Chains A and B, each alone.
Chain A
Amino acid sequence: AQTVTQSQPEMSVQEAETVTLSCTYDTSESDYYLFWYKQPPSRQMILVIRQEAYKQQNATENRFSVNFQKAAKSFSLKISDSQLGDAAMYFCAYRSAGTGTASKLTFGTGTRLQVTL
């Protein structure tokens, strides 16, 4: 079974600064997908960014980018120019590339990000 580990329960960043959230995972599969979800106080899960394992290029979405190290099974999220609205819980998630029972998402325990003035 796949596992996802987020070793930073809490992180803090000053507004306009850059912060990196860590995520490692364990799998024996070669093809899979990785995601970062944001959960603000409203509890709504919002997809921030996703990465296909077969792509070597790191995904980027505006101020959000990832550092995907397949051999190390590491998938960190970098938030540049942090804004107050970035304050939330961030979850790393894994999904197999297969069908049926492979469709579920496996989540880490989350990192709570605080953004200070």
Chain B
Amino acid sequence: NAGVMQNPRHLVRRRGQEARLRCSPMKGHSHVYWYRQLPEEGLKFMVYLQKENIIDESGMPKERFSAEFPKEGPSILRIQQVVRGDSAAYFCASSLIWDFNEQFFGPGTRLTVL
């Protein structure tokens, strides 16, 4: 059973470009969480999605950031018009259902904005 997959592992963008980060949850998992880790900091929650629904986006910046988890395909975290402050590691986690089931983390995508 493959774990949570994220791609790309490393992404370099120039200021003003768009970044698209992909997350394929573990097989059978229908809940996806995105977290951001700034250098030398802990992970900060961004958004929680179920298939085709955003459940909690309280941690997501209001502008430039969006997330989706379509019925088919991976979850996408999209950052428009990136700025240097967006440079961070972005982690995706998935769980089977909402309750106490463990959130399994992917390896993360390291975004560097030049």
**Beta-carbon contact of B42 and A108 below 8 Å:** yes
The verdict on A107 contacting chain B, using a C-beta distance below 8 Å, is: yes
The verdict on A109 contacting chain B, using a C-beta distance below 8 Å, is: yes
**Interface residue tally on A, bucketed by range:** 20 to 34
**Beta-carbon contact of A103 and B33 below 8 Å:** yes
* Chain B min CB distance to A78 (Å): 21
Chain B hits for A110, CB < 8 A? 41-42
Given A42-B107, A45-B105, CB of A109 within 8 Å of CB of B42:
yes
**Beta-carbon contact of A106 and B45 below 8 Å:** yes
Chain B hits for A99, CB < 8 A? 98-99
**Beta-carbon contact of A107 and B33 below 8 Å:** no
Tell me if B's interface is mostly helix, strand, loop or mixed.
Answer: strand
**Beta-carbon contact of B45 and A105 below 8 Å:** yes
Q: Which of B6-44 contact A (CB under 8 A)?
A: 31, 33, 35, 41-44
**Beta-carbon contact of B91 and A107 below 8 Å:** no
Given A43-B107, A109-B41, A110-B42, CB of A104 within 8 Å of CB of B59:
yes
Give bound CA distance, A97 to B110, whole Å: 31
Chain B hits for A108, CB < 8 A? 42
New A-B contacts (9) at CB < 8 Å, excluding given A104-B59, A107-B35? A43-B108, A45-B91, A45-B105, A101-B56, A103-B48, A103-B56, A105-B45, A105-B103, A110-B41
Pairs of residues from A and B, 8 with the lowest C-beta to C-beta distance, nearest first: A107-B42, A45-B105, A104-B45, A101-B56, A107-B43, A109-B42, A99-B98, A43-B108
Q: List 18 A-B contacts (CB under 8 A).
A: A33-B100, A43-B108, A44-B105, A44-B107, A44-B108, A45-B105, A50-B102, A91-B42, A97-B100, A100-B56, A100-B98, A101-B56, A101-B58, A103-B33, A104-B56, A105-B43, A107-B43, A109-B41
